[in-house]
Structure 1
Amino acid sequence: MRQPLRILTGPTASGKSEAAFHVACSIGAEIISADSMQVYRGMDIGTAKPSREARTRVPHHLIDVAEPSESYSVGRFMHDAQKAISDIECRGNPHLIVGGTGLYIKALREGLFCGPEADWALREELIAVAEEKGSTYLHGVLKEVDPASAEKIHEGDLRRIVRALEVYKKMGSSISLLQQEWGRGDGDSVLIVLYHRKEDLHRRIEVRVDKMLEQGLVEEVQGLLSRPGGLGKQAREALGYKEVLAYIDGRLSGDEMRDKIKQNTRRFAKRQMTWFRSFSRASWLVVKEGEDPESISRRVQEILRPSL
């Protein structure tokens, strides 16, 4: 019998990776990353990848599986994650899925219509319309053909607006309807969401961004740009990386870059929380200010225990 999905999530800077490491050490689990940017080799500092030491002590999957010049889709994630789960089960070990990419978690729990392959010509055409008339206009176009998707997608989220319109134009049906047809319910899963008070999370974000810059985020991006293929479209949009690119190009000063990363990270965390609130049957674990990873781990294990 297959194990239930065990998922630990939370917004960026919530302490997921540290808590998951202690959980995995305690229960003998292998970790599967559900982070859309940790898949990229060389993008280490800005994505807050688990340390080499942690990855040596506990097997981690779906980290460093793609070049930053590549596109990595939710469909590929589904394939890779399901294979990792099967392999872990064959070894007789429990798995623990850890990450904050809401779409990946939704896909694993509910199934997801992945849609056709990217049509870059069509995407460029839609992006050109948005550049001329604004993403709000394009959101209005989506609202006319797929009101259900338009209601879920913020008018400033150009990437998702473009994808929804791309699917409609390629498939002749709305992505929301196709997703309903492909959905399979939330199945057997244990989903734990780490929750911090907004003020506490914002403080953690401040500390994390400062630490990333001290560790050499700018130098990391410069090194990635010099690699064959450089940074692809997805990697260039990664939080932290796009702001550093603007700094390297001279569009932001050093202080502006730092402030922009912090501002965009706070906004990203807010969008993540919107995703998590949409999930059914989630266990919300309120993290106290200053609570250490070992303490969080013990509470996570209490929730997971019936599934082990």
Structure 2
Amino acid sequence: MNDGTHHAPFFLIGPTAVGKTAVALEFARRLDAEIVSADSMQVYRGMDIGTAKPDAAERATVAHHMIDVVEVTEQFDVARYVALANASIADIQRRGKTPFIVGGTGLYLRALTEGLSKAPDADPTLRAGLEAMGRERVLEELRYVDSEAAERIGPHNFRRLVRALEICRLTGRKSSDLRREWDRSRLPLMHGLERDRADLYARCDARVEAMFRAGLVDEVRSLLPRGLAKNTTARQALGYKEVITHLGGEATLEETIALVRTRTR
């Protein structure tokens, strides 16, 4: 990461629905900054409502980067994110502005600040087999071979559970051990947002309700012919995965909303 002293990147992190967008917009205006998204799903074009992308007015007020980068049919990984984000950061700095990185996805933030880990590339065949095992079996095996990773990831992020177990199978080592080997000497100053848990949960619930009112189901329906369900990464996005299941007739809308609400917390 380019960390020039005159316009060093400014990081803002926090959980879903904590209020990062509003704070980022306000500070970006004050700092003459441009926002670099560190959200792994905002890179996909058309996945707007469920990823809570900034709207057109917000993007007109402050320049945003790493949003709408690829189609939903394209695979996108952390290495590609780091390469493109670093290019955006360097360009912002060359123009005399401050890069304001807002996240988002912990893996992307760590890779951007600490460098890529020694984890192996994805193995499509192995990954497909792990995904076919289902959430419960993957979580059970990961708890056995790398309980630390299982605890850190939690039971709801199936994509990350699969990746952690994939690393264990490919390397014979714990993904949590590889994670600790990353060089943490270059960590920048990060500014985090927090809220009282009850307040945060209420905001999460309100956000989920707002997304469904705004047309999340129709958005997912429109993305299916464009290949959303075939993309092993994009289809796992919170909200989209559950709506795909709903559109397949496996859950009612009420059940889907309740499940997304639970997994958003």
Give your verdict on TM over 0.5: yes
CA contact (8 A) 2:36 2:66 kept: yes
Residues 2-40 of structure 1: CA deviation (Å, up to 9, x unaligned): 143311111111111111111111111010001011111
CA contact (8 A) 1:16 1:98 kept: yes
Give the match for residue 2 of structure 1.
Answer: 4
> RMSD of the alignment, in Å?
2.4
> How big is the shift at 1:170?
3.4
Classify 1:159/1:241 alpha carbon distance in 2 versus 1 (closer, same or farther; 3 Å): closer
> How big is the shift at 1:262?
0.9
> How big is the shift at 1:65?
0.3
CA contact (8 A) 2:114 2:187 kept: no
Give the match for residue 145 of structure 2.
Answer: 142
Please give the residue correspondences for 1:154-303 in structure 2 after superposition, counting only pairs within 5 Å: 154=154, 158-171=158-171, 173-181=173-181, 183-187=182-186, 189-227=188-226, 229-231=227-229, 232-266=231-265
Give the match for residue 26 of structure 2.
Answer: 22
Please give the residue correspondences for 1:122-133 in structure 2 after superposition, counting only pairs within 5 Å: 122-128=126-132, 130-131=133-134
> How big is the shift at 1:156?
6.5
Distance 1:97 1:241 in 2: 25
Select 1:44's aligned residue among 44, 48, 51.
48
Distance 2:156 2:259 in 1: 17
- Aligned residues with identical type, % of pairs: 42
Distance 1:241 1:153 in 2: 19
Distance 2:187 2:139 in 1: 38
| Structure 2 counterpart SS, 1:81 | helix
| Structure 1 counterpart SS, 2:189 | strand
CA contact (8 A) 1:135 1:156 kept: no
1:62 paired with 2:66, answer: yes
Please give the residue correspondences for 1:93-108 in structure 2 after superposition, counting only pairs within 5 Å: 93-108=97-112
Distance 1:12 1:148 in 2: 22
CA contact (8 A) 1:33 1:98 kept: yes
> How big is the shift at 1:177?
4.3
CA contact (8 A) 1:239 1:265 kept: yes
Unpaired runs of 5+ residues, structure 2, are none
CA contact (8 A) 2:42 2:48 kept: yes
Kindly provide the amino acid, as one letter, of the partner of residue 51 in structure 2: T
Structure with the greater alpha carbon radius of gyration: 1
Kindly provide the amino acid, as one letter, of the partner of residue 235 in structure 1: A
CA contact (8 A) 1:85 1:95 kept: yes
Taking structure 1 as the reference length, the TM-score comes to 0.76
Kindly provide the amino acid, as one letter, of the partner of residue 216 in structure 1: G
Distance 1:211 1:132 in 2: 27
Classify 1:26/1:63 alpha carbon distance in 2 versus 1 (closer, same or farther; 3 Å): same
Select 2:95's aligned residue among 87, 91, 99.
91
Distance 2:93 2:52 in 1: 27
CA contact (8 A) 1:88 1:94 kept: yes
Give the match for residue 76 of structure 2.
Answer: 72
> How big is the shift at 1:114?
5.5
